[in-house]
Structure 1
Amino acid sequence: MVMRWCATTFATLALVACNASAPSDAIAQRPAAGAEALSPAGLPLVPLTINSAGKRHAFTVEVARTAQEQAQGLMFRTELAPDAGMIFPFPTVKPASFWMKNTVISLDIIFVRADGSIESIAANTVPYSLDAVSSNEPVAAVLELAAGRAAELGIKPGDTVKWQTER
């Protein structure tokens, strides 16, 4: 009886482990008709554009809405597609400060004012660093992209960011 219980428990655990979805998966879950698209981490996916020097750069970003989602951010991710990212919208405009604790990949951290303009960019942040990466003034959101994307696309302070908000 104990042997049968152990075998059943082991088989169940093996199935659960094989079906677990790692947060670094790059493929989004396909939503049901009328439902919101979700990332493998369970966060909403929305289109986001950055207008810079007459060019429009399109991304699909995860939205970290809650304090818990924002605290987790892109920690433990091992990759981030060039057209992907994460937006951290705040309920009120405030000074923002981030760190890279448990963040495996380097990021460009873009601070966004309430009018959608880019306040500043912390480029190529250092993985695992406990140093604060902060805005210079109160902001309405923070956008994280793969390191080097802002420079590669010519994105700079003053450019504008737009993303789909709550439905």
Structure 2
Amino acid sequence: MLKSLIAASLLMLCSHARADTAAAPVTVTLHGQRFSVKLATNEAAREHGLMMRTSLAPDHGMLFVFPDTAPRGFWMKNTLIPLDILYFDEQHKLVSAQLNVPPCKAVPCPVYPSAGPARYVLELSAGTVKRIGVRDGDTLAIEGKLGAVD
């Protein structure tokens, strides 16, 4: 009985520690504006992205992290809100942006490519880039742990 209780307690502690790590907040700062971001660090999360969301707070976004730097292309399949899509290289420098990208209304959905190789992609509510004055070459500061990227 005591062994079962100890094992259950350890399992609960380990689960709680994993949940805290997974829930650790990640923020990014771009052109002096701070955003809380949801991470997409694996293929499944990157494929799902912001699908089926009906809103995105002005100070929130999604940061896609890739294991390599390469040309990227994003589409808006099942994405219900317009977005600004920003592409950053391995030094976190803005290399390209697709602004006010509308939800996909017809299949096949258009692809919105980067103008150069990117390792990080930040999706924000449409109009954010214009509102905060983002410019080519701006640097993205990432605060928090990105975890494993695959």
TM-score with structure 2 length normalisation? 0.79
State the structure with bigger RCO (CA 8 A, min sep 6), 1 or 2. Answer: 2
Q: Tell me by how many angstroms 1:133 deviates.
A: 0.4
Q: Give unmatched runs, 5+ long, in structure 2.
A: 1-15
- Contact 1:75 / 1:103 at 8 angstroms: preserved in 2? yes
- Are the equivalent residues in 1 in contact too, given 2:71–2:115 (CA < 8 A)? yes
1:166 CA drift (Å): 3.2
Secondary structure of 1:35's partner?
A: helix
Q: Hey, what's the Cα distance between the residues in 2 that align with 1:156 and 1:85?
A: 18
The answer to whether the 8 A contact 1:120-1:156 is kept is no
Query: Aligned match of 2:124 in 145, 148, 165?
Result: 145
User: May I ask how many residue pairs the two structures share in their alignment?
Assistant: 128
* Matching residue of 1:36: 21
Residues 49-103 of structure 1 show CA distances to partners (whole Å, capped at 9, x for unaligned) of 11x3xxx110100000110000000010000000000000110101100001110
Q: How much has 1:37 moved relative to structure 2?
A: 5.8
User: For structure 1, which runs of at least 5 residues remain unmatched after alignment?
Assistant: 1-30, 39-43
Cα RMSD (Å): 2.0
Report what 2:10 is aligned to: none
Tell me if the contact between 1:121 and 1:156 (Cα under 8 Å) persists in the aligned partners. no
Conserved? CA contact 1:98–1:133, under 8 Å = yes
How many percent identity over aligned positions?
37
Q: Which amino acid is the alignment partner of residue 113 of structure 1?
A: D
Do the aligned partners of 2:41 and 2:146 also contact (CA within 8 Å) in 1? no
Shift >3 Å, 4+ stretches: none
Decide whether the 8 Å contact of 2:104 with 2:110 is kept in 1.
no
Match of 1:57 among 28, 33, 50: 33
Contact 1:45 1:63 (8 Å CA) reproduced:
no
Residue type of the partner of 2:100? N
Q: CA deviation at 1:165?
A: 3.4
Contact 2:83 2:99 survives alignment (8 Å)? yes
Question: Which amino acid in structure 1 is aligned with residue 115 of structure 2?
Answer: N
Match for residue 88 of structure 1 among 64, 75, 83: 64
1:47 aligned to which of 27, 44, 59: 27
Alignment of 1:136 with 2:115, yes or no, is: yes
Q: Distance in 2 between the 1:65 and 1:131 partners?
A: 23
TM-score by length of 1: 0.71
Query: Which residue identity lines up with residue 47 of structure 1 in the other structure?
Result: T
The answer as to whether partners of 2:71 and 2:117 remain within 8 angstroms in 1 is yes
